[in-house]
Amino acid sequence: MYERVPNAAVNGMPPRCAPEELSTLFPTTLMRRHMPDAKSKNRRIRKIVLEREKADPGVHHSNVGGWHSTADLWDWPNPEIRDLCAWVKNAVQELTAAIVPLQQGDEVKADAYGGSWANVLRDGGYNKPHNHPGAIWSAVYYVASGEPFSEPPGNGNFEFMDPRGGNIHGGKEIVRPEPGLLMVFPAWLYHYVNPYHGDGERISIAWNFNVEILR
């Protein structure tokens, strides 16, 4: 014989479980933020990236197909790129301040680690599973999402992998890219981009950051 598990124990908190008995261990933080007035700003950033692609053969890291710029985007002279970098850096500082216990007068300092780069994917391009060792935060911003076909399922989606090996309750976090979307996440978290099939270019920019609390 066995005792049937109440529905409440399956769908939510067991009725006999007191709140003080529960805790959430090792959560993984993901920030999603949208750029104000992204449409007009991205129009110019897209042009800058595509002009750079014509002049620079780029490099190969996690990308298969497409174009991956050298990691010197912080040094690009364009005001639009500098403004974007400053906006992302501010988001990283705000995220850190939101999850790290700060004392009055503390200041969060964010610095680039490992550079920043632009990615351009066209039909068939994708990014293999990878992370960014050595940094604390990684960030990605979507300049353009292209015109993806309706098939196959998951076309061009950005996916975070569950870092808990063997976790039967886990799963992937799937994000559909859209222009103006910024994501900031722990640099150790594995992620990848499904093959993009569609017209036009899918353009993103990525950063790595270290942070320090100044007291």
Q: What is the CATH number of the domain that holds 87?
A: 2.60.120.620
Residue 212 has pLDDT above 50, yes or no: yes
Question: Are 59 and 70 within 8 A, CB to CB?
Answer: yes
DSSP 189: S
In terms of residue numbers, what domain contains 180? 42-214
| pTM of the complete model beyond 0.95 | no
For 59-106, write each residue's pLDDT tens digit: 999 999 999 999 999 999 999 999 999 999 999 999 999 988 888 989
In a domain, 141, yes or no: yes
Is 6 part of any domain? no
Percent of the chain at pLDDT exceeding 70:
92
* In a domain? residue 149: yes
Average pLDDT over residues 182-197: 97
Q: What do you get for the CA distance between the two ends of the chain, in Å?
A: 61
- For residues 13 and 22, the answer to whether their CB atoms sit within 8 Å is yes
Q: Based on the structure, what is the number of domains in the chain?
A: 1
| CA 79 – CA 135 distance, rounded (Å) | 26
Residues 6+ apart with CB under 8 A from 19: none
186, part of any domain: yes
- pLDDT higher than 90, residue 166: no
Is 36 inside any structural domain? Answer: no
